Chain A
Amino acid sequence: MTKVAFYGHGLPNVHKGDLPGKLIVLEGTDGVGRSTQVALLREWLESSGYAVASSGLKRSGLAGKGISLAQEGHYLGDLTSCLFYASDLADRLEREIIPALRAGFVVLTDRYIYSLLARALVRGVNRKWVRSVYGFALVPDKVFYLRAGLDHLIPRVLNARGFNYWEAGMDFLPQRDYYDSYVEYQSRILDQFDAMSSEYGFHLVDANRSVHTVFTELKRGIDKLVRGMKPASPEILGDE
């Protein structure tokens, strides 16, 4: 059951009372392997008989495209970015995530408000303001924080798609070089995540280890959460 609880003012028109599904968040910096784990977990959960939906930043029907387009241009301001991402998340919550939870799905999300908070805070956006903006966010059942050190992150990012302008903080940091800027930016982001960890009750997962080891640990954590959600098996029905 996901309790209908929000971080702030919440969403209008969402009825109180529990949602039968589970909202599970995978958080962590760029290149830590979140999307790989979401893909593996989804397959594992589905093959174990659960209904699964996944979500992630910029995947809303409303604002996903718009944010990507704005990021290709030369200017997306900090406040605009916060509110644009808020539109994206609110759209996904209202039209995808909450309906899926209501239908009893396990919803896996690749990042949630914590990444957005970290990005805003390192850019000097007012903490109180940004938290209030994201106050419509449903409190998840569990947040797994995948944490890897920079020495592990850098080769992974280089092997995947290279450094990204925004994920290297090139929009605000003084470094004019992608590598230097990335190192500075991601260290600041890591500090923000670490600072949020206890407040939001992150389950810390050491992602310096192999994909398989991390997957095994996540499976163990998620298994506890979802146990009992599966439709009753025939034997149990036969007992009645």
Chain B
Amino acid sequence: MSGGGDDVPHCRRRAAPGQARCMPATPAVRIEGLTVRYGSTLAVADLDLSIDPGETVALLGANGAGKSSTLNAALGLFRPTAGRIRLLGREPAAAVRSGGVGAMLQHGGLPSETRVGEVLALVRRRYDSPWPVDDLVATAGIDGLLDRRVDALSGGQRQRVLLALALAGAPPLLVLDEPTSAMDVEGRQAFWTTMRALAGRGHTVVFATHHLDEADAVADRVVVIGSGRVLADGSAAAVKSRIGGRTVRFSCPGPRDGLGGLPGVTDVGGDGDLVELTTTDAEATLRALLGSRDALPDLEVRGATLEQAFLHLTAQPTDLSGARR
């Protein structure tokens, strides 16, 4: 990351004297009662979400959870069935036109028969005070790509060029829909390093992901979405402790009395002889199990999948917001 953050209009999270105007009452994103229906499918169900300037928020959810529908509606790409959306206090389309919002879309792309530099120049010209080009190139990680034909880019390079387009106007609000989906592991790491730096410069960053690790590593707030609803909303740590649990499985033909009372266990399930314990503390659960039983045939310990966590959360929507304040 090179310097140049001073060129970015932004709001710092910790307001220094004289920056009070940078902590407006207006949320960066305000979604009220958003409902999206495709035919008979309810993609988003009466969803409310408010994001303050300077927050880095992950929308975490499985495929089909309603993340993209929420973000696309927020960006004004379609008219939702119901609900009210404000970005930076304006209608979505007006906020985009004003240059206050940069976005990486899941189905966004680059024009054929062009070079990267031409596209970037075209987009930068659309803004009154675009991000200085040298710093933009360094920040998005597209050094050496400006003369490259767009049609000759790799998947990861393409995503970084799309990031550069999203950043071209130095927008206070960044909306990213699964931005790392076409990237390899190294690319992902570099990308999220960039995101953390942007958040540090005061940009509001909202991104969708189905990787708990990504949400945990980057976001200071995680909103878990499932079946078009907010299932949990809180600090990354709070959400992770709720959905980042483990499952302990083993065969147990006999009675199962007392399993639910073992340390850490939050749920007892399984089919037939198979027992599946969901636990927040796998080690304590195992210790207690081994102490009380002679054998644990077919023992397996694994991280709970996000899908399991979602099923769990769907049963009991939780407001963890207390944990992030």
Q: Do A and B bind each other?
A: no
